[in-house]
């Protein structure tokens, strides 16, 4: 890869990527060369929601492991990128809040890593980072206006325009999980009602499926069959598969997702006219079962001129999107 537009024009060295989630499920650190090729990586998922110092101590150990002098025979670390599963104030380098976790409010994370590692650090929201990764290395290479939608435990969005993340005035652009799509709808993690996240996130889909199945023995039996009798573990992908196999309750849940995710995406399309919408997170693992009806619905709801060339695609980076996003943040302008 040629880098002709950078400020540094570095030819040797490394970047670090760090991924942090509020739920504890995802902590990872990766070392990459200047082409973005991952050379070494460690993951330390936790089964509980950790406090701030637990996460930072854990990352400290992981950083020591990944930046061991033996790994760095081709120069030094030039920059660090951090993808955070929460609200990030990019201007000040702080975490505004990390969903599900306490102790992160207004935490100066950029300064923390700059002091720890003595190199410049860039932090951003994980959906923004994933969007950048998909445009730089993934399914949307070269797209001028690309929207990434992370349909995970929550719902995040990231907009990349002409190769740059669009942050808005106070860095909340892309927070599409909290768009109102259904008046008086289910309660959202933010305390509001009828937000997209409360209907179309992985957690919302599993919860709706389990809740509705209580009165339908056939559906309960189908859930037991696909989850090995651990109904609480049913995934969004499994719900989509049950719907495709003809389960009426699963079809109700899936229709609800298609209806309201379709409304949200169609409204976004009318505003920003993207060339591609990339779907990531656990729900996107349903693949074409999710994408085909959604694409049809968005076409239905939008002006033809806005949607006729629009592609809705599944993320090609999948579960790697956040860590590759963190590395892509670090590689900007190098």
Closer to Zn ion by CB, 193 or 216: give it: 193
Closest distance of CB 19 from Zn ion, Å: 23
List, edge to edge, every strand of the sheet that includes 121-125.
38-43, 27-32, 14-20, 77-84, 121-125
Nearer to Zn ion, 81 or 86 (CB): 86
Nearer to Zn ion, 93 or 154 (CB): 154
- Provide the minimum distance between the beta carbon of 177 and Zn ion in the complex, in angstroms, as a whole number: 6
- Work out how close the CB of 194 gets to Zn ion at its nearest, in angstroms, rounded to a whole number: 9
Which residue reads 């040797």 in tokens? 12
Closest CA to 236 of 217, 220, 248, 223: 223
Token pair listed for 56: 């930072």
Q: Which of 321, 328, 329, 330 is nearest to 21 (CA)?
A: 321
Ordered alpha helix ranges (H), the chain: 52-66, 109-117, 126-136, 197-200, 202-213, 217-227, 236-244, 248-272, 288-301, 304-307, 321-331
Our CB check for Zn ion shows the closer of 163 and 186 to be 186
Minimum Å gap between C-beta 185 and Zn ion is: 10
CB of 302 to Zn ion, least distance (A): 24
DSSP string, 27-51: EEEEEE-TT--EEEEEE---SS---
Other residues' Cβ atoms within 10 Å of the Cβ of residue 162? 9
Contact by Cβ (8 Å): 146, 140: yes
- Cβ proximity to Zn ion: between 40 and 182 the closer is 182
List interacting residues with Zn ion (CB under 5 A): 178, 188, 190, 192, 195
Instruction: Kindly compute the dihedral angle of the four CA atoms of residues 317, 290, 205, 188, in this order, to the nearest 10 degrees.
Output: 80
* Nearer to Zn ion (CB atom), residue 188 or residue 257: 188
Minimum CB distance to Zn ion smaller for 17 or for 158: 158
Residue 264 CB, nearest approach to Zn ion (Å) = 12
Shortest Å distance, C-beta 191 to Zn ion = 7
Start-to-end CA span in the chain (Å): 12
- Provide the minimum distance between the beta carbon of 197 and Zn ion in the complex, in angstroms, as a whole number: 5
**Adjacent-strand bridge partners of 150:** 156, 280
Please identify, using beta-carbon distances, which residue of 99 and 240 lies nearer to Zn ion: 99
């Amino acid at each position: 890869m040629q880098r002709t537009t950078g400020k540094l024009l570095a030819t040797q060295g490394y970047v670090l990527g760090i991924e942090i989630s509020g739920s504890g499920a995802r902590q990872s650190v990766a070392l990459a060369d200047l082409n973005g090729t991952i050379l070494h990586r460690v993951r330390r998922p936790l089964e509980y929601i950790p406090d701030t110092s637990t996460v930072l101590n854990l990352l400290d150990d992981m950083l020591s492991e990944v930046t061991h002098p033996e790994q760095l025979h081709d120069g030094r670390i030039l920059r660090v990128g951090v993808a955070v599963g929460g609200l990030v104030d990019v201007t000040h380098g702080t975490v505004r809040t990390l969903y599900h976790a306490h102790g992160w409010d207004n935490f100066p994370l950029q300064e923390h890593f700059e002091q720890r590692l003595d190199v410049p650090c860039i932090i951003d929201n994980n959906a923004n980072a994933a969007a950048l990764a998909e445009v730089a290395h993934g399914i949307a290479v070269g797209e001028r206006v690309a929207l990434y939608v992370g349909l995970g435990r929550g719902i995040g969005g990231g907009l990349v325009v002409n190769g740059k993340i669009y942050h808005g005035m106070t860095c909340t652009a892309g927070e599409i999980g909290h768009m109102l799509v259904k008046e008086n709808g289910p309660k959202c993690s933010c305390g509001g009602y009828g937000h997209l996240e409360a209907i179309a996130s992985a957690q919302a889909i599993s919860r709706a499926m389990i809740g509705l199945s209580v009165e339908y023995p056939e559906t309960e039996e189908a859930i037991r069959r696909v989850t090995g009798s651990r109904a609480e573990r049913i995934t969004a992908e499994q719900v989509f598969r049950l719907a495709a196999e003809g389960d009426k309750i699963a079809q109700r849940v899936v229709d609800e997702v298609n209806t309201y995710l379709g409304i949200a995406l169609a409204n976004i399309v009318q505003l920003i006219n993207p060339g591609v919408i990339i779907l990531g997170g656990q729900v996107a693992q349903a693949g074409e079962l999710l994408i085909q009806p959604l694409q049809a619905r968005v076409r239905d709801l939008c002006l033809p001129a806005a949607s006729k060339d629009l592609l809705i695609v599944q993320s090609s980076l999948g579960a790697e999107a956040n860590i590759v996003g963190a590395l892509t943040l670090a590689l900007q302008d190098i």
